[in-house]
Amino acid sequence: MAVEAEPKRGPARPGALGGSRSGGSSLVGFVQRYGAVVMLVLVVVVFSVLSPDTFATSRNAVTILQQQAVLACLALGLLLPIAVGEFDLSVGYVLGFIAVVAAKLGGDTGLPGGVIVPLCILIGILIGTFNGILTAKLRIHSLIATLGVGFAVSGGTIGVSGGTTLFKGIPPVIPDLANTDVLGLKSAVWIVFALAIALFVVLEFTPFGKRIYAVGGNERVARLAGVRTVAVKIAAFAIAGGMAAAAGILQLGQAGGATPAFGVNLLLPAFAAIFLGATAIKPGVFNVWGTVIAILLLAAGFTGLGLQGVPLWVEPIFDGAVLLIAVLVTRREARSLGGQPA
């Protein structure tokens, strides 16, 4: 039985942020929905004034989009487990593992890219499915389950790579997937944009998307309404694993080689973008375009700071602060919508 409406109240779960607020003045509603967009515009304007010859250029804009493609792919996949009320700490490790596996397969076996790419996506889906079984079926807390899987995967990454960078024998189709010029942008940007549209359609216009939000809003009520909550959660983790694998393929294509360090450093920015994105477009709801806008906002802000001479070690501090602020804001949204915050 499909659930046709998203519950507005629920227990303290990561996905239980409710829907967007319907009352209040139109100005307040506009600020709630598009505050992050306004902030992005302000950031662009400010740094364009401060660095007109470097920041305010089409080349810089294209560079930002291309650099954020892998992060966006990872974050969009991570969005689904969070939307169903769980966390997935393994996706960064999966990204790195898939990158080295693809590079290893290309270098050692000579398999064509047309075989390696779908095989690696399948491996990511299987890892995500395992996460879902541990969490939804065996009832292990998602933080513990996915962290354990992530550590195991990281060991596999080191084992496959031997702790070295792999760059020989990578099939040409992999760099072509990431770096082909299409209408002035690299193909990685268009691939991620297509994935974002597909995920948006699934979440907003399909029964599966309604079930995702229903389970995240109140798992018990969704179960009583006939939703197969275990299957929905497993599917959410499986898709997250597949998207992390896709991000690994794109990362390998962009870099031209794979190292064991790939992926882990993207986990915090991905979480920050998702929670910050829940304050935009559909306030109080983890959503696709809010996440995309948040990624661009974080990227534009740090790029602008970098052009002003801010050292690189400020970036994790910046991302961590944004994550904390975003969580506090989403908690307030949950309270204002009558639900209970995670």
Tokens for 287? 């959503």
Q: pLDDT class for 314, splitting at 50, 70, 90?
A: confident
Identify whether the C-beta of residue 15 lies closer than 8 Å to the C-beta of residue 79.
no
Q: pLDDT class for 140, splitting at 50, 70, 90?
A: very high
**pLDDT value for 331:** 64
The answer to whether residue 340 scores a pLDDT higher than 60 is no
Q: pLDDT class for 32, splitting at 50, 70, 90?
A: low
Q: pLDDT class for 165, splitting at 50, 70, 90?
A: confident
Single-letter amino acid, residue 171? P
Q: Which of 12-26, 37-51, 116-130 shows the highest mean pLDDT? A: 116-130
**pLDDT value for 214:** 94
pLDDT average, residue stretch 336-342 = 46
Burial class (CB in 10 A: 0-12, 13-18, 19+), 184: exposed
The answer to whether residue 52 scores a pLDDT higher than 50 is yes
322 vs 5, residue with greater confidence: 322
5 vs 168, residue with greater confidence: 168
What percent of the chain lies above the pLDDT cut of 90?
55
Q: CA–CA separation, 253 vs 257, rounded Å? A: 7
Query: Which range (7-16, 163-172, 241-250, 300-309) has the least confidence?
Result: 7-16
The answer to whether residue 342 scores a pLDDT higher than 50 is no
Q: Minimal CA–CA distance to 157: which of 111, 104, 84, 236?
A: 104
**Whole-Å CA distances, 239 to 160, 214, 258, 307:** 24, 18, 23, 37
**pLDDT value for 26:** 74
Identify whether the C-beta of residue 126 lies closer than 8 Å to the C-beta of residue 98.
no
- Structure confidence by residue, pLDDT tens digits, 63-121: 999 999 999 999 999 999 999 999 999 999 999 999 999 999 988 887 888 999 999 99
Query: Which range (152-156, 194-198, 230-234, 257-261) has the least confidence?
Result: 257-261
* Domain range 26-336, its CATH number among 1.10.3470, 1.10.260, 3.30.40, 1.25.40: 1.10.3470
Identify whether the C-beta of residue 276 lies closer than 8 Å to the C-beta of residue 36.
yes
**pLDDT value for 58:** 87
The answer to whether residue 306 scores a pLDDT higher than 90 is no
Sequence spans of domains, the chain = 26-336
Q: Cite the beta strand spans of the chain per DSSP E.
A: 181-182, 185-186
Identify whether the C-beta of residue 2 lies closer than 8 Å to the C-beta of residue 208.
no
Q: Which of 116-130, 176-190, 217-231 shows the highest mean pLDDT? A: 116-130
Burial class (CB in 10 A: 0-12, 13-18, 19+), 109: exposed
**pLDDT value for 83:** 95
Q: pLDDT class for 175, splitting at 50, 70, 90?
A: very high
Q: pLDDT class for 13, splitting at 50, 70, 90?
A: very low
Judged by DSSP in three states, 183 sits in: coil
* Residue tagged 């193909």 (tokens): 187
